[in-house]
Amino acid sequence: GRAAVSEADGPFREFGLTLDIRSFQAGSRLPLNLACTYVQALLPAGLLELVVSSGRRLPSKFAPLRTHPAVDIARGAEGALPNGAGTLEFVAGVVQLAGVLAQDPRVSLEVWHKEKW
């Protein structure tokens, strides 16, 4: 359902959040000589709730955003990650969005290794 709208949340605006994950640089402490790597981005739960409560559908790409396909990156090297961009558009009150971001302003990025067999 849609959250109750309050004048205290306003003024209401349309916002867009774009994530663009382009590359991963594997440090010398990477536990594998070669990792089949993809990155997963997790948005703050409060922001996701705000998007859904604004009546917008959460794009499946953001549940969560993952680069794909996984790419081989050697220890100490950098590799390009394909398909790591997405935009999330939503309507929210300026004060409401500021409150959500003040509680949890982080986008978390997780780096994963995908086994090839």
Q: What is the mean pLDDT of residues 21-39?
A: 96
- Count of domains for the chain: 1
For residue 76, is it within any domain? yes
pLDDT tens per residue, range 49-79: 998 888 888 877 777 889 999 999 999 999 9
State the maximum Cα–Cα separation within the chain, in Å, rounded to a whole number. Answer: 56
- Element (DSSP H or E) covering residue 48: helix 45-53
pLDDT category, 2, cuts 50, 70, 90?
very low
Q: 32-56 as b/e, with b when 16 or more CB fall inside 10 Å?
A: eeebebbbebebbebbbebbebbee
The predicted pLDDT at position 108 comes to: 94
- The answer to whether 108 and 37 are in contact (CB under 8 A) is no
For residue 3, is it within any domain? no
For residue 55, is it within any domain? yes
Here the tokens at position 29 are 């402490």
Domain of 65 in residue numbering reads as 9-113
> Is residue 113 scored above 80 in pLDDT?
yes
